[in-house]
Amino acid sequence: MGVRFVSPQEAVAFVNWLNFQGITRRDIAAAIESDFGAAQVFFGAALMWFRVEQERRAAVTKWLERLGSERSA
């Protein structure tokens, strides 16, 4: 029972987000080779954080769109 990607697009977005955080593909590979179990826990937690961040961004975008439409009305 682990955290799984919803789609290949989410996997790519997650890796891009990790890169933005300063974690490279080489870092990911080294972590998996070094201690697979620990890497699963770390990247599982990071994926959950990523999803929360995506939800937060979507909520802020929706709020800003609503605010803009109210001001233009």
* Per-residue model confidence as pLDDT tens digits over 13-59: 999 999 999 999 899 899 989 999 998 888 888 999 999 999 999 99
User: Which helix (H) or strand (E) covers residue 38, if one does?
Assistant: helix 36-72
Q: What are the Cα distances from residue 14, in Å, to 24, 42, 63, 69? A: 12, 13, 24, 31
Predicted model pTM: 0.70
To which residue do tokens 């939800």 refer? Answer: 55
Domain boundaries, the chain: 8-72
